[in-house]
Amino acid sequence: MLTGTEPESTHATTAATPDGRGAPGQEARAAARVAEVDRRLGDPTDERNELSYARLVEADEAGELCAAGERALDELRLGADFVPGAEGGSLERLDTLVRVMRQVFRRDVALGLGYGVTSFMAAVNVWTSGDAAQRARLARILTDGGKVSVAYHELAHGNDFTRNEFAARPAEEGGYLLSGAKQVINNAGRADAWVLFSRTDPAPGSRSHSVLFVERAGLDTDTWQVLPRYDTVGVRGCHLSGLRFDHTRVPAASLVGAAGQGVDTALRAFQLTRAALPGMAVGTTDTALRTVVCFALGRRLYRRSVMEIPHATATLSGAFVDLLTCDSLSLAATRAVHLLPEQTSVLAAATKYLVPKLLTDTLHDLSIVLGARFYLRDGEHGIFQKHLRDLPVLSLGHAGSAACQATIIPQLSRLARRSWFHDEPAPAELFRPHAELPEIPFDRLALTGGRDGLSATLVAAADTPPAATGEERAVQGLVATLVDELRQVQEASRALAPEDRTALAGPAAFALADRYALLLAASSAIGVRQQALRDGSDAFLADPAWLAAALHRIARRLGRRPAALPASVDARVHEEVLRRFHARGSYDLYDTPLVG
């Protein structure tokens, strides 16, 4: 071919997506943004830094968001990261947003939530269902550094939000009249706008609520008020309060999507936040692990360093491996939003259910190594107890753990009958941390799935030639165990009675959702390692050691008793824990160079 002389890109990270829709240079922009945020926030272990762990703990003690932190994020124009490129912002890839926010979350969960993620949670409703004018208005607020509150929650109804009472009644003169209260709403008192989940029809059911995007400016101030702030166990700097409206008039243009589409919008839009939020907290647990590694290397007990005590070493290695598992599931879920939007409903719910749970368990394990120091509120290790108090907030909010399981449970029997052991494996692009992606197809997010390419990756992995090394054989044995587990989950799911496919399902159905989520995490880790092996870009991720360790821990969580791993697995993982500590590389799939 005469045109065959056109040079091919040799830079693996800038390869275009197979369908060619990704804007070139995505990965370079992502890496630059992550580094920029890290640099601006500075070394958190340096007490002279106004954003050091010590100062962040002080702000928490005072019950305030760190002012210097908010200023830094303003300067970084972080709000633009929540705005899709099509709306003039810089949100290209959901996995990139996770990486960027991880830099904030490793320092302070309260800042991550209170500055930004709350606004993102509100925004996804408008990106998914809003009209051009609403999207433009929201983009303007966020890129200008403003905040938007997501006001769904009413204490009386929890995640059962089709029972919500807060009302938007059509007014005779046009528009709506708002009446009622929303409670425990982040930034309610200082947001420029609120996304209000409102009852627009008194009838029971799922067509009686609508989403309203209401700007604060221009409202009759005599008709609404901010409710008193809540005091909380963690994220004490967050401004959690409420709103009460009494016949407050808002324009008809506030309605997002069609009247009665509120539940529909919420169930689709929140797939983005369910997929993305949990992975941000990988940064929080990264800090906890780093803190304990530092402690273990410096502290001497029984005439040796804590790091030489086998239980401590194993705990730290286990924590690192669990972070890689969490990041693998987070990667698959966020990239699925772009690549498999029709399948994301279950996958995002599984991520929001499992990742905060694993991260919380990891923090608990690490606290045992830290000993009495984990209970101290200040000093060198003070950030640990703050992260320990802050992290559980991720399991709350608009999709609590049980609510996420309740999203998965009704879909299990259908997946069991139609998908598992039949579907094609997920595309390779799902598992490549640096590969480019097409835009987020907001209009293709579906309420229910029925397909599952991710677990098919696990099933396909069982079909490989006999392994040459002990580590590879360990991986193969574990894959076989997990495929058997999927078979059992399939049988149990097929047998679920109709009453066990509702929010009122029995505990056994919730246990099935838990087992399935663990299998999705295992599938993600398998996919990540397969692609790393193929790409040859990351020697550690291509190594079977971490995968063997990850699958072993998952199998044990599933109640299996897998054979002991070769000693080389522990050694390889331990070596990497130390290497990344000394080289200041992040404890996730990216090994990102950190300033501190």
Partner 1 sequence: MPVPTTAPTTESLTTWLAERIALYLTRQPAEIDPDVPLAEYGLDSVAALSLCGDIEDDFDLVIEPTAAWDYPTVHALAGHLMAEFAADTAQGGGA
402 binds partner 1 (CB under 8 A): no
Give 206 or 469: the residue with its C-beta nearer to partner 1.
206
Task: CB nearer to partner 1: give 376 or 447.
Answer: 447
Residue 156 burial by Cβ neighbours in a 10 Å radius (0-12, 13-18, 19+): exposed
Distance (Å, rounded) from C-alpha 241 to C-alpha 245? 14
497 binds partner 1 (CB under 8 A): yes
Secondary structure element (H or E) that encloses residue 192, with its range: none
Q: Does 498 bind partner 1 (CB under 8 A)?
A: yes
Binding flag, residue 411, partner 1 (CB under 8 A): yes
- Minimum gap (Å) between residue 215 Cβ and partner 1: 29
Interaction of residue 204 with partner 1, rule CB under 8 A? yes
Contact assessment for residue 135 and residue 213, using Cβ atoms and an 8 Å cutoff: no
Round to whole Å and give the CA distance between 105 and 113: 8
Instruction: Supply angle C-alpha 104, 106, 109, rounded to 5.
Output: 70
Please count the residues of this chain forming the interface with partner 1, following the rule CB under 8 A. 27
**For the window 258-297, what string marks contact with partner 1 as x by the rule CB under 8 A?**
-----xx--x------------------------------
Nearer to partner 1, 228 or 498 (CB): 498
Q: What are phi and psi of 147, to 5 degrees?
A: -120, 150
Backbone φ and ψ for 504, nearest 5 degrees, come out as -100, 25
Q: Is 444 an interacting residue with respect to partner 1 (CB under 8 A)?
A: no
Residue 227 or 267 having the CB closest to partner 1? 267
Distance separating alpha carbons of residues 296 and 301, to the nearest angstrom: 10
Q: Which stretch binds partner 1 (CB under 8 A): 45-53, 150-158, 245-253, 408-416?
A: 408-416
Shortest Cβ 499–partner 1 spacing (Å): 5
**Which of 206, 464, 469, 488 is close enough to bind partner 1 by CB under 8 A?**
206
For residues 373 and 384, is the Cβ–Cβ distance under 8 A?
yes
User: What is the distance between the alpha carbons of residues 41 and 75, in angstroms, rounded to a whole number?
Assistant: 11
Pick from 399, 128, 174, 429: nearest CA to 278: 399
| Contact call for residue 553 and partner 1 (CB under 8 A) | no
Q: Is 503 in the site for partner 1 (CB under 8 A)?
A: yes
Q: In whole angstroms, what is the distance from residue 150 CA to residue 232 CA?
A: 18
Which segment (29-37, 102-110, 200-208, 239-247) binds partner 1 by CB under 8 A?
Answer: 200-208
266 or 321: CB nearest partner 1: 266
DSSP 394: G
Query: Radius of gyration (Cα) for the chain, nearest Å?
Result: 24
Nearer to partner 1, 428 or 446 (CB): 446
CA distance 460 to 490: 16
Least Å distance, CB 143 to partner 1, is 34
Residues that bind partner 1 (CB under 8 A): 160, 162, 203-207, 263-264, 267, 406-407, 410-411, 414, 417, 446-448, 450, 497-499, 501-504
